[in-house]
């Protein structure tokens, strides 16, 4: 079975058990694992970085709400100078 098929199957399994799953494709850290799986209540922090005065796009807002509503962690907006809790 191809790695991509194994990953897709495992992602589906984790999500069915309530995990918030992020499949990484390009990162700033070579060698980082393929998948991040967060159980509910894990208190992770997610930062959306924007230029000053810019706001998240609708899909970015949706994802941040999804993270908060699932109790996977806190979300923040950072503009290079200030950090706002969303």
**Per-domain residue ranges of the chain:** 1-39, 41-86
Whether the per-residue pLDDT at 84 is higher than 90: the answer is no
pLDDT for res 2: 85
* pLDDT tens per residue, range 27-83: 887 888 889 999 988 888 888 888 888 889 999 999 989 889 988 888 888 888 888
Q: Could you tell me the end-to-end alpha-carbon distance of the chain, in angstroms, rounded to an integer? A: 41
pLDDT for res 39: 92
pLDDT for res 26: 83
pLDDT for res 15: 95
């Amino acid at each position: 079975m191809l790695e991509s098929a194994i990953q897709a199957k495992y992602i589906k399994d984790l999500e069915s058990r309530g995990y918030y799953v992020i499949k990484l494709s390009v990162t700033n850290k070579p060698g980082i694992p393929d998948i991040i799986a967060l159980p509910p209540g894990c208190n992770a922090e997610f930062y959306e970085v924007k230029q000053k005065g810019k706001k998240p796009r609708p899909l970015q807002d949706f994802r941040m709400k999804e993270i908060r509503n699932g109790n996977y962690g806190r979300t923040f907006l950072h503009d290079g100078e200030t950090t706002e809790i969303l």
